[in-house]
Amino acid sequence: MSPLTVVWVANRETALNDTSGVLKLTDQGLVLLVNGTSNSTVWSSTLSSKAENPVAQLVVSGNLVVKDGHNGEHFLWQSFDFLGDTLLPGTKIGWDPVTGLERTMTSSKSADDPGHGDFIFRIDPRGYPQAVLTNGTAIMVRVGPWNGLMFSGATIYLRYSKLLPSDYDFIEKELICKLQPLHTYSFIRSVVTPWGGVQLLHWSRQTSSWETLLSLPEGECDKYSHCGANSFCRVTPAPICTCLEGFVPKYPRKWKDLYWSDGCVRITPLSCSKDGFKKHSGLVLPDTSSSWHNKTMNLQECEDLCRKNCSCTAYSNMDVRRGGSGCLLWFHDLIDMRQGGQDLYIRLPMSEPDDESNKKKLVGMIAGSILFFMSMMFGLVLCLWRKKLEEPEIFWWKQRAHKREKDDMDLPMFDLSTIVYATNYFSSDNKLGEGGFGSVYKGALENGTEIAVKRLSIDSEQGLDEFKNEVQLIAKLQHRNLVKLLGCCIQQKEKLLIYELMPNRSLDTFIFDDSRRKLLDWAKRFQIIGGTARGLVYLHQDSRLRVIHRDLKTSNILLDKDMNAKISDFGLARTFAGDQTEARTKRVMGTYGYISPEYAVRGSFSTKSDVFAFGVIVLEIVSGRKNREFCVPHQSLNLLGHVSDTK
């Protein structure tokens, strides 16, 4: 070649400043570089065993070797064990489990100075070994573990896989690289650059120059953990960093400002026995330095093992060839994922992952219906079923948003990460209460506004109806004695309602508590009764819609900092037309003890139903006793019966 290319330098740190250098081979088999002027040794090889008739040879691969003249196949020393910044075909890189020798590539200080630079390309032996480029001890680029075909992180390599057949063997903790060019007269090499990159080059006879086949990092996503934990990086569309399903940004404000390195955290904690797995396709597997691996297990055995270990967060195949084999398990946060070509199964709470068993049951039901029904009838049912299935919740939301725009209503949509951060990831310490449709958490937005977040239970079908109903109604209702809805959130299967925070929580926490009820003098109790009544009159008479609450009770009367009453929870509420006074339902819903007799017996409800519940609340406020739990010796009457009987 012209010009000649330097691929190995013995005395990287000690330069010879003149032409007096002498290369010697001693009787013991040591290769020496000597300063001819001072006769001092500039560099020396090492020797693992005594040589009787040592011979030094530069072999065709570019390997400088010392061998015993009586055993020409056994190398006493070789330059391939002490790499510089260049990797040639046939070179080993990694750990030798027998000798303990680690073979690494180290960058030069500059193009003109072959001294040891800052960047090292090596095989990280921790967990399942993987190729990494480090700056000191910090990982800069993770080329990934070997997946049977390639280093999984070097996805660009697929473009040239036909030009560069490869053969890598993983033996214990040693990775043997046998990279061979397609033609014997071709030349290839890999280089760690002084500026912190890894390049794969081949010699072009047409241009008489080295041309780059592969260069890492190629983009932002190639930088190690660019998006932080539990997220993945993709080139398009922007933004390039995205949290995995079931996760939200750890610091939403930084995330919005495109600072992603803090990564993402779980929305819902894992519960071990009730967890499932979500399949993610087309990924570069996460950092394997803390992983566990087994070559002989299949994917099902891998899943079973991960499911039994509560600390296991994800699993995947080791080898992608022939349908996949081997098992990889992760036990902590998932680091440094980006677009690639492998499947990863991530542990999530059972309500979040795809339920494969339900899918199989669904297929069975469809198959059974084909045998059971006439083809025309089945086609009609299938058409309606698909229409319902394909109507996503977001479509409903857009319809409601469009309708609110027509009505000049403005209900803000909150980002899930904002709410998760505001409630300290739905911490149990922030939980205000829990009902049939989910839990309520207190929190604070970044501007200091205190909020109460109603988190609808993901498993509750009835809760979804409640959510829609509450949004439709409360967005149109504005009154000082109704709780104010600040906004909502529909994201990642979460359905959240964000209200103003009521510092004194609900009425029942006062009147049914022996110590706290003393804080309510008669003036405050009368104030609460009056406020509840004004809110009820607004719902029944003064609002644009005549609203029947249907679940009025002390726990749904919230108290602000001045102990003003505010009616909340409109999940069961119904609206009446202008001339409508009564309606019926086959499904009686509400809270026993507050349900009117005609509603409980006949399913008939009207404004009188709410007035009945209001009367129960008044009696409970006055007496400090619960209607259903009221008990007098030798009587079987509740509070209402007792009051009626004492007249």
> What b/e sequence results for 601-629 when a residue is b if at least 16 CB atoms lie within 10 Å of its CB, and e otherwise?
eeebbbbbbbebbbebbebbbeeebbbee
**Is the distance from CB of 292 to CB of 317 less than 8 angstroms?**
no
Selected catalytic residue, list 287, 551, 569, 610: 551
Torsion angles phi and psi, residue 461, rounded to 5: -65, -40
Specify the pairing of strand 337-339 against strand 231-233.
Answer: parallel
CA dihedral over 606, 609, 612, 618, signed as positive or negative: negative
Q: Classify residue 364 by burial, with Cβ atoms within 10 Å: 0-12, 13-18, 19+.
A: exposed
Q: Identify residue 640 by its one-letter amino acid code.
A: L
Q: In sequence order, which residues have a C-beta less than 8 Å from that of residue 267 and are 6 or more positions away?
A: 246, 247, 248, 416, 420, 425, 426, 492, 494
- Write out the two tokens for 561: 């900092």
Between CA 368 and CA 347 the distance in angstroms is: 32
Residue with tokens 């809110």: 535
Q: Which residues pair with 266 in a beta bridge?
A: 247
Between CA 371 and CA 382 the distance in angstroms is: 14
- Write out the two tokens for 645: 């009987």
Between CA 370 and CA 390 the distance in angstroms is: 21
Binding residues for ATP: 454
SS3 379: helix
Helix intervals (H) in 62-178: none
600-608 contacts, C-beta under 8 A, 24 or more apart: 605/548, 605/550, 605/574, 606/548, 606/581, 606/582, 607/540, 607/546, 607/548, 607/581
Q: Does the active-site annotation cover 551?
A: yes
**Is the distance from CB of 265 to CB of 250 less than 8 angstroms?**
yes
Q: Identify residue 458 by its one-letter amino acid code.
A: I
Residues carrying an active site annotation: 551
